[in-house]
Amino acid sequence: MPDRDAGLEILRLRDDFPPVSTADWEAAVHKDLKGADYDKKLVWRSEEGVAVRPYYRSADVAALGAQTAALPGEFPFVRGSGKPWEPAQEATPSPGAIRADHFHEAGGSVVQELGYAVAAGVERLVELAAHSTVDQAAREIEFVFAIGSTYFFEIAKLRAARWLWAQAVRAFDPREEASCLMRLDVRTSRLNKSIYDPYTNLLRVTTEAMAAAIGGCHHLTVEPFGFVPHLALGVQRILRDEAHIDTVADPAGGSYFVEALTDSLAQQAWKLFQQVEAAGGYRKAVESGSLAAALSATLAARQKAVALRRRTLVGVNNYPDLLEKVPDIAPPPAENNNPFPQVRLAEPFERIRARSARHARRIGRYPQVLLLKRGDLKMSMARANFALNFFGCAGFDILQSTDYADQNPDLIVLCSSDPEYLALAQEVCPNVSAPVLVAGNPKDQIEALKAEGVQGFVHVLSDAVETLSHWQDRLGMEPLP
């Protein structure tokens, strides 16, 4: 290494950047928050109820020695088998596979996927072990997971799945620890895909495939959803031959965040598994309908989040391609052996757009929404962009102007600041025949605006599915069969 005599100074980063304690970090954070609530501003709570903190340190994983100290290929196999994943295009699961992907496609949470999969696996293990050894039975069981787009959660999901299964199998006292390794086949999700914008689907499967590879699957299937199959294979080749993800065992290992998240998901899923066992086991949960009811409740919450646009599906409930009116994608056929409903979160918006397209074929044009921008430039632009995304998701044509004269829209959306809305409504409403709406939620003026003729409001609390369907009704669109 060059020394000082060669004219180069050796950097001593440990001296130049001394350790900073967690207390010091927290003090700096609270100072920047200026009295704002720490949890509300910086802690994100997932659909599973996992609290994700703004940063993690070594102390957050200090108690996870059994998880973090083991090498890849060692019990409890959180860090995987130590062998690279393999592409498996158009893979067909065995008839007896534990189909955790069915829970996923029914709208289940990560915790439900994990907990129910382990419960189903334990019952299968008991059945098989009655006719063979525990080791042989465990090695015969195949698990199939679907991988979604919540990147770090999906990585942690596969790591947690191996931990859970290793603990479950060990309870049966196998002769070899290797029998506790979960055989894990993964495919990309259908739940978050749309029949619109196929190349957004391609981006989705790319991040999903990367999460599956980093999480440590054995076989990976990238399903083409609206794009040509060779691109699906290309995703795997890029991850393997260019990104070289298959050359590193457990790339996420050692990340304080991923390790802590793995443990949180595993602990919650283990509780769910125990609840299922205490209630009589997996088969009883299916037959009683309690499992389906739990999945349905989670799905309803997810669908509500999409309808309220708290959860974004790019091109579906936000940032639509205004030029893409009619899709040319057919979703994959439903599996006959799936006991649970197979849904896609985009379907309500797809039906809204299909309804607009059918109406356009009937009358010869798409409904037009005029975004009337007036007053405060910053507010009018922001609210016009909001309304463009909002009504664009219905397939409507969007016009933007500062004037409504010589326009003949089907709807007019006022885009301005709250203090300017009343005067603007008093000007516009008496002089137009189209319904007038306001972009925003000026609570103190709502009744006054309605009295002037405003017929609706669109804002961040609006249920987009309900609101867009309502205005389709008002515009005389026939309902879809």
Domain covering 58-307, topology: TIM Barrel (3.20.20)
Please state, in angstroms and rounded to a whole number, the distance separating the CA atoms of residues 208 and 187.
Answer: 9
Residues 477 and 360 sit within 8 Å (Cβ to Cβ): no
Domain covering 358-474, topology: Rossmann fold (3.40.50)
Mode of pairing for the β-strands spanning 454-458 and 368-373: unpaired
Work out the average pLDDT over 279-286.
Answer: 97
Please state, in angstroms and rounded to a whole number, the distance separating the CA atoms of residues 71 and 432.
Answer: 71
For residue 7, name the pLDDT band (cuts at 50, 70, 90). Answer: low
Cα distances from 226 to residues 43, 195, 314, 341, in angstroms, run 36, 7, 15, 22
Give per-residue pLDDT as tens, 170-188: 999 999 999 999 999 999 9
Please state, in angstroms and rounded to a whole number, the distance separating the CA atoms of residues 383 and 389.
Answer: 10
- 159 versus 339: which is more confidently predicted? 159
At residue 13, the pLDDT reads 78
Cα distances from 73 to residues 88, 122, 180, in angstroms, run 22, 22, 11
At residue 284, the pLDDT reads 97
Q: Give the start-to-end residue ranges of the domains of the chain.
A: 58-307, 358-474
Work out the average pLDDT over 432-453.
Answer: 97
Residues 6+ apart with CB under 8 A from 339: 102, 286, 292
Amino acid in position 454:
V
Q: Which of 1-15, 218-232, 380-394, 396-410 has the lowest mean pLDDT?
A: 1-15
Return the percentage of the chain with pLDDT > 70, whole number: 99
Going by the DSSP 8-state scheme, the letter that residue 53 receives in this structure is P
For residue 404, name the pLDDT band (cuts at 50, 70, 90). Answer: very high
Asked if the domains at 58-307 and 358-474 fall in one CATH topology, the answer is no
For residue 91, name the pLDDT band (cuts at 50, 70, 90). Answer: confident
Note the pTM of the prediction, 2 decimals. Answer: 0.92
54 has a pLDDT exceeding 80? yes
Work out the average pLDDT over 458-474.
Answer: 98
- 11 versus 424: which is more confidently predicted? 424
Residues 6+ apart with CB under 8 A from 261: 50, 52, 152, 153, 156
Chain mean pLDDT for the chain? 94
For residue 1, name the pLDDT band (cuts at 50, 70, 90). Answer: very low
421 has a pLDDT exceeding 50? yes
At residue 2, the pLDDT reads 45
For 304-324, give the secondary structure using H, E and C.
Answer: HHHHCCCCCCECCCECCCCCC
Work out the average pLDDT over 426-449.
Answer: 97
